[in-house]
Amino acid sequence: MEAASGPKPAARRPKRGELLEVEIESLAFGGRGVARTEGLVVFVAGALPGDRVRAEVTKAKKRFAEARAVELLTPSPDRVADVCVHGGEPCPGAPWQGLAYERQLEHKSDQVGEALRRIGELEGFELEEIVPAAEQWRYRNKLEYSFGEDGDQPTLGFHARGRWDLIVDVDDCHLASAAGNKARDAVRDWAQLGSIRAYDGRAHKGTLRNLVVREGRRTGQIQTRLVTTPSRFPKPPVDLHTTIEGDSGGTDGPTGVLGEERLREELCGLKLEMSHGAFFQTNTEMAERLYGVVAEFAGLSGSERVFDLYCGIGTIGLTLAAQAGEVWGLEIVPEAIADAERNAERNGIENAHFLAANARTGVRPLLVQAGKADVVVIDPPRAGLSQKIVRRLLECEAKKIVYVSCNPTTLAPNAAQLVEAGYRLSRVRPVDMFPQTPHIECVALFEKVAA
């Protein structure tokens, strides 16, 4: 008779800085490779399924560890050559570029389905085929660069992977267009010619912080915004100048206009203008396809009242206006609402109305003013919807809710709440807005179940 097996030995907890040799089995949501060694799950940044890597432990917990790949021992058979490389290292903005594009799409689609089933505990929905990107490279209409220094010369590029204190100078970023790269280089040339120092957060001195480059893909306009400390220096070749005091790592602050104040773009046949701080999808071409999915799921016949919550500059609502009876947009940022109203007027759209209000407190006044909604479109930030906002959403009593999500792990609990409240999750379609990255966008359709 075999002896009963005893309890499994506890996983050995590695120490921070320890080097492990591991084989990557899969990808976790967020893009890190997943490996298992000595009973421990290890999440490895910079590694892909099928890779065998030497990884340095950065954090050790009781049940898992986090690490970063420091050496590729055996590459995955699915690996392809890196296209975007800066300073000998893969571009930090394209962490999945070593993975064949077809495999990227498979992983993204699988992660959407897994989140809804595992986190939301949902079944019975149709997970539709992912919409691939129109362009795998040079698709971003906005890039944010940081200033650093190489000796006495200012550099302009990205933070090295896993480093907040090292900036890798960028020559040709394949996420940006040729025009966007040229605009960045012009600002770096100006900074080097004037020997203007980058801001050093440790020493609390210096001037140059960031450069934001935005592009109207359909108009050809390039808009640049320089972010500095309050300092005196020669006039920079930019459209906007933002000053920030202290050690804030952000780019928002008082902004002066030196050139073009607003960015012009064309989308779904609309002519749009936007303030520098307004949200706009970073991939113009795929935004059109995303909004096409929204329109398809909404299934408007021409008479419906549509609420567009988190409406930003009004892009989704304005693209739906021709198919709706009326559109009401809600957005907390007053400048974005001003943009939305201007965009409605610019395009001759008279059945779209916009209100500056928080979704948590603004829905009830909107219901009083406009009445119940037939269709609600929501496009919340990555954190998804709070329970209180879900309750306000339910008060709209819409027949359909079209949820645009940039994070399936927050979509999933919201979906479970809506299903529990009497909606059916019928369709989900992922859309690849950000090739070469783990970011996933999807559109989910909820339909009210008849009583």
Q: Measured between alpha carbons, how far is 57 from 138 in angstroms, rounded to an integer?
A: 34
Number of H helices and E strands in the chain, helices first, is 8, 25
Helix then strand then coil, in percent of the chain rounded to 5, is 25, 30, 45
Beta-strand pair 270-274/305-309: unpaired
Say how many C-beta atoms besides its own lie within 10 A of residue 118's C-beta.
11
The set of catalytic residues is 406
**Topology of 142-263 in CATH?**
OB fold (Dihydrolipoamide Acetyltransferase, E2P) (2.40.50)
Which homologous superfamily does the CATH classification assign to the domain defined by 19-79? Nucleic acid-binding proteins (2.40.50.140)
Of 97, 84, 238, nearest to 171 by C-alpha is 84
Q: Look at residue 31 in the predicted model and tell me its pLDDT.
A: 86
Reading phi first (left if > 0) and then psi (alpha if -120 to 50, else beta), residue 208 is in beta
The DSSP H or E segment spanning 377 is strand 375-378
Query: Cα separation of 188 and 154, whole Å?
Result: 7
Helix or strand holding residue 275 (H, E): none
**Helix, strand, or coil (residue 286):** helix
Instruction: Tell me how far the alpha carbon of residue 204 is from its chain's centroid.
Output: 30
Cα gap 355→362, rounded to integer Å: 8
Which of 410, 354, 355, 361 has its CA nearest to residue 388?
A: 361
Residue 1: per-residue pLDDT: 44
Query: Within 194-283, where are the H helices?
Result: none
Q: Parse the chain into domains and list their residue ranges.
A: 19-79, 106-135+283-448, 142-263
| Distance of alpha carbon 405 from alpha carbon 388, whole angstroms | 18
Report pLDDT for 3.
47
Amino acid letter at 14?
P
pLDDT of residue 160: 83
Residue-level pLDDT at 12: 72
CB neighbour list of residue 230: distance below 8 Å, 6 or more residues apart: 243, 245
| E strand segments, 129-267 | 142-150, 153-159, 167-169, 208-215, 222-228, 240-243, 255-257, 263-267
SS3 per-residue string spanning 21-71:
EEECCEECCCCCEEEEECCEEEEEECCCCCCEEEEEEEEECCCEEEEEEEE
Each of the 451 residues of the chain gets a pLDDT tens digit; together they read 444 555 555 567 788 888 999 999 989 888 899 999 888 899 998 899 999 999 999 998 888 899 999 999 999 998 999 999 998 888 989 999 999 999 999 999 999 999 999 999 999 999 999 999 999 999 999 999 999 998 888 999 998 876 767 899 999 999 999 999 999 999 999 999 999 999 988 888 899 999 999 999 999 999 999 999 999 999 999 999 999 987 777 888 899 999 999 999 999 999 999 999 888 999 999 999 999 999 999 999 999 999 999 999 999 999 999 999 999 999 999 999 999 999 999 999 999 999 999 999 999 999 999 999 999 999 999 999 999 999 999 999 999 999 999 999 999 999 999 999 999 999 999 999 999 999 999 999 999 998 7
CB neighbours of 221 closer than 8 A, spacing ≥ 6?
A: 215, 260, 263, 264, 265
Distance CA 362, CA 431 (A): 29
- Coil vs helix vs strand at 18: coil
In degrees, to the nearest 5, what angle opens at C-alpha 14 toward C-alphas 13 and 20?
135
At which residue do the structure tokens 């089995």 appear?
25
Same fold, 19-79 and 142-263: yes
Length of the chain in terms of residues written: 451
| Alpha-carbon span 111 to 133, nearest angstrom | 17
Nearest to 436, CA basis, from 180, 42, 139, 187? 139
Q: Do residues 91 and 418 lie in contact, with contact meaning Cβ atoms separated by under 8 Å?
A: no
What are the backbone dihedrals phi and psi of residue 152, each rounded to the nearest 5 degrees, phi first?
Answer: -100, 0
What residues pair up with 406 in beta bridges, in sequence order? none
3 state SS for 323-349: HCCEEEEEECCHHHHHHHHHHHHHCCC
CATH superfamily placement of domain 106-135+283-448: Vaccinia Virus protein VP39 (3.40.50.150)
Measured in degrees and rounded to the nearest 5, phi and psi for residue 345 equal -65, -40
Cβ-Cβ contacts under 8 Å for 5 (sequence gap 6 or more): none
Q: Which neighbouring-strand residues pair with 447?
A: 400, 424
- What pairs with residue 65 in β-bridges? 42, 60
Which pLDDT does position 2 carry in this prediction? Answer: 46
pLDDT of residue 8: 56
